Structure 1
Amino acid sequence: MKKLITIFSIFVTFSGFAQQKPQYTQYIFNQYLLNPALSGIENYVDFKAGYRKQWSGITDAPQTSFVSAHWALGDKELWSNALTSFPEQTGNPMDRNYTQNYTSSPSHHGMGVTAVLDKTGPIKRLDANVTYAYHLQLNNDFNLSAGVAAGISSISLDLNALTFDTQIDPILNRALINQVKPDLSLGLWLYGARLFAGLSVQQILPQKLSFSGDENYNLGKEVPHYFATAGYKFYVDEDVAAIPSVMVKYVSPAPVSFDLNLKLAFKDKVWLGGSYRKDDSFAAMAGFNIGKMVNLTYSYDFTTSQLKQVSSGSHEIVLGLMLNNIYKVPSYIRIW
């Protein structure tokens, strides 16, 4: 009984005072996971699948798997302007010539889907959402999109992963093994050839969250997660671009979290980058394109918090596919 009560108490603390959604290092390559306003930002199907193993060396540390896909609605050749659609003969979206002659995309709709499975110890969470966004063409240089994600969260407790003082514990009869909650997120995204900025909030709907049928432990709740990000592309020379960016995250009542990122893009072939998360970690990132369809990225987090005494760091790998890429875009346009 003491063991289960301890688990309940830990989860109540987790629910009230820590991040409840998974943490990512490579969100700079897939902002769509944090902001539904990016739905349909490309004129092809943007598919990604990823896996993150956090705090290697710690038993039952968080492990996250995800798949996501989004696409524009309407005519498959919605981007008829060559400067926006990138027919193969016009070059690639990473070079300076493109940004100097950029034309914003026409107003359009987009949609997508996400599925995220996160497991920490005996607790497992599956989030599944459908997303929608409308992209407004402000002028020839910028678009502003607004998006929404709606779905469900299934949160479960694996009693088989727990041990107890007695073989049959009365509190098990009152344990809530699985809970399904509605989920809702909103976002805004401003983007052009070099600049991007976004605001989003996940887990908007207030929900009680506890695995105990005992009112003494029924104190957990879901809390909103707020994100603000911005970045800008600078050219070191014709083929090398540097993209610094910042992410600010707030999950009440935890302290505000700050990420500083820098990515170097070499033509449309290779990316190298680094990230610093205040009071948590440094990260190194690398990625490359394979032809006109596939890209692969990897990151490793070097823990700087007190967890570094028991953790060797965190690994994250993401596979990306550009499906129905009718214009043969050589790399993701909107990762800047």
Structure 2
Amino acid sequence: MINKSSFIKSLILVVFTALLSLEINAQQDPQFTHYMYNTMSVNAGYTGQRDVLSATALYRTQWVGIDGAPKTIAFGLHSPLSNERIGLGLNIISDQLGPAKETSIDANFSYTIPVNASGDLELSFGIKGGIHSLDTDWSKGLFQNPDNAFNENINLISPTLGAGLYLHSNRWYLGFSAPNVLTTKHYDDFQESIATERLHYFLIGGYVFNLSNSTKIKPAFLLKGVSGAPLIADISLNALFSEKLTLGIAYRWDDSISGLAGFQLTEGLFVGYSYDATTTALNNYNSGTHEIMLRFELQQIGKILSPRFF
């Protein structure tokens, strides 16, 4: 059996060594304030970890009031198989930014192994693969580049391939992933042109504290790095009351501060909302960012699960 202490130390060392090797440029993947509910989109190792059939839908409209600002729709569906070691899932993300629309469709697979003898610490290996499409309509907006090539709309389809590790117990989790290691094309809103995908890295983690029989709090973080760009750090603190009401705050480094609220409407249906207030000079030109998410879970008949806060 793997030594728990030495394994965790080695994993953390590898993760931070990879993250510190990143350079500086622009972020290319969509971002979410509800990242703690949308884990499978950044880490394939999370596939099946809700222990039930779980479907999550999310809509984000960013920087309201700015023409061409990002609008993102995400949908994820995943479940463990009967042996509970294998998880399968589907993830779809559609991102509209200025004249460009990007859509990713990925199938996810995970395999989970115990790390210690008691089985309360597990490591999940995940892989994902699919397609990414980029469609542009240069008639939307004004562009700095006078090149005739940008007078013709672009339609590109590229394969995607990613992988992730997800270490978890009943109280905490730590994951490291690279959602796409292949070369694809993205729209660069800063240069207003088409740019090549850079390798993204994600480090995600969280811990659940039981303050009382009816109150839990969960600090969580998400570090995002891309070759040629500074690290982006999201940190959050959410509280769960009586397994029904969730309230939280979040901060995205040098970008925004957010408030989150959610409610467990039924045993299987959860709804959440967040509002981001921009903390940069861009705050003068927009009225914030709104995000709505729904999660539906189909409980297995005859199986009682311990309440999960991640």
Residues 126-171 of structure 1: CA distance to partner in whole angstroms, max 9, x if unpaired? 0000000001122321111010110010001013425699xxx992
Q: How many residues align?
A: 281
Q: Using a 3 Å threshold, how does the CA distance of structure 1 residues 333 and 53 change in structure 2: closer, same or farther?
A: same
Aligned to 2:262: 287
Change (3 A) 1:280 1:327: farther
**Pairing 1:65-104 to 2, within 5 Å after superposition:** 65-74=73-82
Flag as ranges the 4+ runs of structure 1 deviating above 4 A.
Answer: 162-165, 208-211, 327-332
Q: Which has the higher strand share?
A: 2
Q: Which of 95, 109, 125 matches 1:132?
A: 109
Q: Secondary structure at the match of 2:263?
A: strand
Q: Give, in angstroms, the shift of residue 33 of structure 1.
A: 1.5
TM-score by length of 1: 0.77
Question: Which structure features the higher share of helix residues?
Answer: 1
Q: What SS does the corresponding residue of 1:55 show, helix, strand or coil?
A: coil
Residues 59 and 219 (structure 1), Cα distance of their counterparts in 2 relative to 1, 3 Å cut: closer
Separation (CA, whole Å) in 1 of partners of 2:45 and 2:105: 17
* Structure 1 spans left out of the alignment, 5+ residues: 1-15, 75-105, 212-216
Aligned residue in 2 for 1:33: 41
Match of 1:50 in 2: 58
Are 2:298 and 1:319 aligned? no
* Residue 42 of structure 1, CA deviation: 2.5
The CA distance in 2 between the partners of 1:263 and 1:119, in whole Å, is 29
Please report how far the alpha carbon of residue 58 of structure 1 lies from its aligned counterpart in structure 2 after TM superposition. Answer: 0.8
User: Unpaired runs of 5+ in structure 2?
Assistant: 1-23
Q: Give the 3-state SS of the residue equivalent to 2:45 in structure 1.
A: helix
1:186 has 2:154 as partner: no
Provide TM-score, normalisation by structure 2. 0.83
> Given the superposition, is the C-alpha separation of residues 235 and 331 from structure 1 closer, same or farther in structure 2, using an over 3 Å criterion?
closer
Is contact 1:40–1:112 with CA below 8 Å preserved after alignment? yes
Contact 2:40-2:47 at 8 Å conserved across structures = yes
- Relative contact order, higher structure (CA 8 A, sep 6+): 1
Identical-pair percentage: 34
Structure 1 or 2, whichever has the larger Rg, is 1
1:32 is paired with a residue whose SS is: helix
